[in-house]
Amino acid sequence: MSHLLVDVGSTFTKAALVDEGGGLLAGAAVPTTAGPGRDVLDGIVRVCRALGPGAPDPLADGPGSDRVLVCSSAGGGLRLAVVGYEREVTAEAGHRVGLSAGAKVVHVAAGRLTVAGVAALRAARPDVVLLVGGTDGGNAEVLVHNARRLARSRVGAPVVVAGNAEAREEVAAELAATGRRVRLTDNVLPRIGVVDPGPARRAIREVFLGHVIGGKGLSRGPRFAGLVRAATPDAVLAGVEVLAEVVGGDVLVVDVGGATTDVYSVLTPQGEDATLRKHVVATLWHARTVEGDLGMRWGAPGVLEAAAAEALPGTDDPALAAWVRQVHDDPGRLPLDAAEQAHDLTLATLAATVAARRHGRPGAPGEAPRPLRDVRLLLGSGGVLRHAGPGAAQQVLGAVAGDHGGGWRPPAAARTRVDAAYLLFAAGLLAPVRPELARAVAAQVADSVADSATV
């Protein structure tokens, strides 16, 4: 029996067909069929046809089947706003949980919400609001106040409540009184210095599947929402977790996309890192950051601006600036000759380097950089790296690993690899339902690590 794994992205819909042993039978990609008057299911059907006659029919298997699993970031992915208590404590914890849940954090508010604060929250157009505040048994006044403000606001997004457990029912009553969609879960910060992201991550995922995917106008009926199991970044993070188990060590993934550049790390703290308790909000060892201003197409202008601010070389090249304008205006544009390929690789190098710096740097004043020096595998992902030659892709990853002046600690002796078959999302989709199969899929990414370069 074969299994069909599909990622519906903002630009392309990708699919992988794997057998019961985890072997890749076929892979394909087609443009995503999203937009006014279009239906993303059409793109899913097309990519399945491109895989060949052995692919399952995505419209024949009903919801609950593990033969067809879909993730999506179409329509801009998951936009999350975090409303917390003290920015340095609860709001920061919520912010980190949001990033690890595969969400793009578009707004963070700390303290009592005011009229202006609610207006700023509404202007951010979140898909989900994560309401946090206080440790269990601690101060609940701000949490209840913010719930009351949200209940009476014109912010229509569902609310996930992950604050002080003792105030949970009162908060839920305030929100339910005005018909808000509410999901209660465990506190993200049950005690000072302890972050428990799991319950909030699961709640955000369930709200995303239940309310957000179906509300983006991506498909005319409920079938697409029934097929989607996760936001794409959440699926990829789960795949990175499986890969780290297979590799038996720390993994860092840099995914350079058209609109954003995402960085994932799955670490096992060692030595001082394992016992360090200086930070009020503990480090999340399994984490993702999304850089909405860094991308190869939609986000190309932001790459040049951010790289110039970081004083990276090459940002003043007029030819590169012209290429950036072209791909931003025409996101489907692909390089046609060696010069354009060189510009695309330069853009990828700048995006990957800036994104890695932001992921690895301290999250707040007084904190240490993320402990990435012991990363065993540095993995590249994204179309620009998958379609580049091996030497070109290694050049991009080598720049990341050799970035010793960026205010973070790059890997000291990592193997580099490119997820050329784009299987991480597939491993992540399989992980909850077929964990052994997920490991077999992830092993294909890891199998040739021994043959890749050490940086």
Position 454 in a domain:
no
Q: Which of 134-138, 197-201, 374-378 has the lowest mean pLDDT?
A: 197-201
Q: Which of 180, 212, 244 is the last residue of a domain?
A: 212
Domain identity same for 134 and 64: no
Contact 28, 44 (CB under 8 A): no
Number of domains comprising the chain: 3
**Residue 260 has what DSSP assignment?**
-
Position 452 in a domain:
no
Domain identity same for 160 and 121: yes
User: Residue 254's pLDDT is what?
Assistant: 96
Distance, in Å, from the CA atom of 292 to the CA atom of 301, rounded to the nearest integer, reads 11
Mean pLDDT, rounded, for 367-379: 90
Query: Which residue from 234, 231, 209 is spatially nearest to 222, judged by alpha carbons?
Result: 209
Report residue 104's pLDDT band, with 50, 70 and 90 as the boundaries. confident
* DSSP per residue, 122-176: HHT--SEEEE--S-TTS--HHHHHHHHHHHTSS--S-EEE-S-GGGHHHHHHHHH
User: Residue 455's pLDDT is what?
Assistant: 46
Spell out the residues 6+ positions from residue 258 whose beta carbon is closer than 8 angstroms to its own. Answer: 10, 11, 295, 296, 297, 298, 299, 331, 383
Position 345 in a domain:
yes
Handedness of CA 20, 16, 50, 418 (dihedral sign): negative
**Structural domain containing residue 107:** 79-212
User: Is the confidence at residue 423, as pLDDT, over 80?
Assistant: yes
Domain identity same for 393 and 288: yes
Position 453 in a domain:
no
Domain identity same for 60 and 84: no
pLDDT digits (tens, 9 = 90+) for 295-305: 898 889 999 99
Query: Which residue from 166, 171, 169, 88 is spatially nearest to 129, judged by alpha carbons?
Result: 171
- CB-based burial label for 21 (10 Å; 0-12, 13-18, 19+): exposed
Domain identity same for 307 and 330: yes
Provide the CATH number for the domain around residue 48: 3.30.420.40
pLDDT digits (tens, 9 = 90+) for 443-452: 998 875 434 4
pLDDT digits (tens, 9 = 90+) for 88-98: 777 777 777 77
User: Is the confidence at residue 153, as pLDDT, over 90?
Assistant: yes
Domain identity same for 179 and 251: no
Domain identity same for 32 and 61: yes
User: Is the confidence at residue 379, as pLDDT, over 50?
Assistant: yes
Domain identity same for 271 and 312: yes
Position 455 in a domain:
no
User: Residue 344's pLDDT is what?
Assistant: 96
Provide the CATH number for the domain around residue 150: 3.40.50.2300
Please give the model's pTM, rounded to 2 decimal places. Answer: 0.79
Contact 47, 6 (CB under 8 A): yes
Distance, in Å, from the CA atom of 97 to the CA atom of 94, rounded to the nearest integer, reads 5
Domain identity same for 258 and 336: yes
Q: Which of 231, 263, 293 is the last residue of a domain?
A: 231
- Percent of the chain whose predicted confidence (pLDDT) is above 70: 90
Q: Which of 212, 244, 268 is the last residue of a domain?
A: 212
Domain identity same for 319 and 244: yes
178 or 284, which is more confident: 178
Going from the C-alpha of 49 to that of each of 15, 45, 332, the distances in angstroms are 10, 6, 22
pLDDT digits (tens, 9 = 90+) for 185-195: 999 889 887 87
Position 380 in a domain:
yes
226 or 127, which is more confident: 127
Gap between the terminal Cα atoms of the chain: 40
Distance, in Å, from the CA atom of 319 to the CA atom of 323, rounded to the nearest integer, reads 6
Distance, in Å, from the CA atom of 188 to the CA atom of 195, rounded to the nearest integer, reads 6
Domain identity same for 223 and 244: no
pLDDT digits (tens, 9 = 90+) for 208-257: 776 667 666 778 777 787 888 888 888 999 999 999 999 999 999 999 98
User: Residue 280's pLDDT is what?
Assistant: 43
Q: Tokens at residue 344, please?
A: 């695309």
Mean pLDDT (the chain) is 86
pLDDT digits (tens, 9 = 90+) for 30-84: 988 877 788 888 999 999 999 988 888 887 765 556 789 999 877 666 788 999 9
Position 252 in a domain:
yes
Distance, in Å, from the CA atom of 216 to the CA atom of 265, rounded to the nearest integer, reads 29
Mean pLDDT, rounded, for 380-391: 87
Position 293 in a domain:
yes
Domain identity same for 237 and 227: no
- For residue 288, give the H/E element and its range: strand 286-291
